Structure 1
Amino acid sequence: MLKTLDNALDLLKHFTREKPQWGVRELAKEMNISHTVVYRMLATFERYGFVKQEPKTKKYELGFSFLEYASTVKDNLDITELIYPVMKRVAEATNESVFLTWLDGLEGICLEIAESRQQVKYAMSIGSRTLLYAGASNKVIMAYLPASTQSAIIEKGLRPRTEHTIHDKEKLLQDLARIREDGWAYSVGEYTDTVFGIAVPLFSGDRQVVASLTIAGPDYRMPEQKVPEALRELRTAQQEVQAILQRIF
């Protein structure tokens, strides 16, 4: 019974922003289980509105039931209402978007966005899941995780997101050590081509990393000489958000 539940939840995690649709046999091959089992799980999820089948391609994608749960979760996350004004101030000061990325298992999840007023900006949706080994917002979290958790992330595979993604284990560990020593992370084009990220970690009251705060946008708007100024804004916000988190956790 627990194995069936594990498989069902693992199946849902395969529906991502990068791969929103799956065919039954394609998904069965990816999960290395019987296509009959995959079909039964999809049929059950479809009955409850968690997935739907696209009529033309016959492939499955996430259904509208998740919107109800997403809305419920966001309504209960009063923490984002407290943090958003701080993020908005940084977005206005830097003219770039600011993201709150939360640690969820071995992944990051975007909880809140304060968008830039610029016409050209880095677009990401609230609820998007991200790989912890690529990009400043993710690596600044991974850098503060226990070695055993870092190993678990690496063992899942370091698949390149772009040509700038570090997918060599030793180089990644060296980069994480440097980030931890510096206390912040900077990347260009690691998760999305031509996008920069400047990120700082956020901790719970017991000093466990729980999230990150990131300024991100097109790389041409953030030459190296502008990074220190943006980082100062982010550091100030980090202290304010940290105070909020320590009252809650």
Structure 2
Amino acid sequence: MNATAEDRRRSPLQTVDRALQVLLSYSERRTQWSVTELAEEFSLDKSTAQRLLAALAARGFLRADPDTRRYTLGPTMWRMALLWERTGGLARLADPVVLRLAEDTGAAAAFAIPDGTHVRCVAAADGSDGPLRSSALVGDLYPAHAGATSRAYFAFIGPTERRALLWGRPMGRFTDRTEVDVHALEERFAETERLGYASSEGEYDENTRALAVPVMLGRRPVGSLTVGQSVVEHPGTTLADHLPRLLSASLELTDLLGQNSAAVRRRRPTITRRGSR
């Protein structure tokens, strides 16, 4: 088979691969492409770049701005991501990581993702220490102002976004340790961002202590990873010794979520070791 025929045979797969590379090239820093920019970035001629972008736009994966002629991500990307999450794709991805974390630490482990002004648990496993509570953790919602699980996410979205999303809304007091003062909460968020992790005891559930870290994708948190235990069953202890294992599990999830994406940047916060509050 001569080279021309071989190129012809491989071209459909090469075209699909190029289209996927284009989609994966979008990131927080690169939110749009022009035909000329894409051609230069991928060493394509302009007509090929134009056809790739137009084909992706025709299926809704990209959206072409009629004025600037630049291409941004389109609604099909959102629909596919929502379908993946709603059909359990995210949970299936996280389950093995969460299970190993629970086995290695003995504590209950959970992965939660943002859900409005809360985070929602999508994967959880009990450790040898026993369950945190009699009901299942998956599906639980944790408010932004109470507990390490939510604070480990909301501390890393930044004060401006956090202020717009959270403040001015009513905040329930779940226990005597629940903080509802906005200024005191901002201090806790700032401390969590500085330390790289959050710890809590009795803020949301008076019988639970927790240690949590953000799961980062690029410069953004996509959720939080937590280990927790019963205060009643384990009085006077902390979860601080589990921090290195918790951080390694967080990076493992980052790798899984950002697989094959050039946009992923590992951000491992500087850690200052402290006990739970």
TM range (shorter): 0.5 to 0.7
Provide Cα deviations, 1:14-46, integer angstroms capped at 9, x if missing partner: xxxxxxxxxxxxxxxxxxxxxxxxxxxxxxxxx
Contact 1:106 1:153 (8 Å CA) reproduced: yes
Distance 1:81 1:139 in 2: 24
Residue 82 of structure 1: which of 93, 97, 107 is its match? 93
Residue 138 of structure 2 aligns with which residue? 126
Q: Does residue 1:112 correspond to 2:123, yes or no?
A: yes
- CA displacement, residues 174-195 of structure 1 (integer Å, 9 cap, x when unaligned): 0100000001000000010120
Q: Which runs of 4+ in 1 moved over 3 A?
A: 72-75, 117-120, 122-125, 220-226
In structure 1, the residue matched to 2:248 is: 236
Q: Which has the larger radius of gyration?
A: 2
- Does the C-alpha gap of structure 1 residues 225 and 200 become closer, same or farther in structure 2, counting only changes over 3 Å? same
Q: Matches of 2:136 and 2:250 in 1, distance apart?
A: 21
CA distance in 2, matches of 1:232, 1:223: 22
Q: Does structure 1 residue 144 correspond to structure 2 residue 133?
A: no
Number of positions where the alignment pairs a residue of Structure 1 with one of Structure 2: 177
**Letter aligned with residue 152 of structure 2:** V
Identity of aligned residues (%): 24
Shift of 1:196: 0.3
Letter in 2 for 1:95: G
The letter for the 1-side match of 2:248 is T
Unaligned 5+ segments in structure 2 are 1-82, 262-277
CA distance in 1, matches of 2:117, 2:238: 32
CA separation of 1:169 and 1:236: change in aligned 2, threshold 3 A: same
Q: Is the 8 A contact 1:101 1:110 kept in 2?
A: yes
Change over 3 Å in CA distance of 1:120–1:110 after alignment to 2: closer
Contact 2:110/2:227, CA 8 A, preserved across alignment: yes
Q: Which residue of 1 is the match for residue 14 of structure 2? A: none
Q: Distance in 2 between matches of 1:94 and 1:154?
A: 35
Residue 110 of structure 1 contacts residue 129 of structure 1 at CA under 8 Å; is this kept in 2?
yes
Alpha carbons of structure 1 residues 231 and 224: separation in structure 2 relative to 1, 3 Å: farther
Shift in alpha-carbon separation, 1:209–1:128, aligned structure 2, 3 A:
same
After superposition, residues 28-177 of structure 1 pair within 5 angstroms as 76-119=87-130, 121-122=132-133, 123-151=135-163, 152-177=165-190
Under a length normalisation based on structure 2, what TM-score does the superposition of the two structures give? Answer: 0.58
More helix by share: 1
Gaps of 5+ in 1: 1-71
Q: Do structure 1's residue 212 and structure 2's residue 224 form an aligned pair?
A: yes
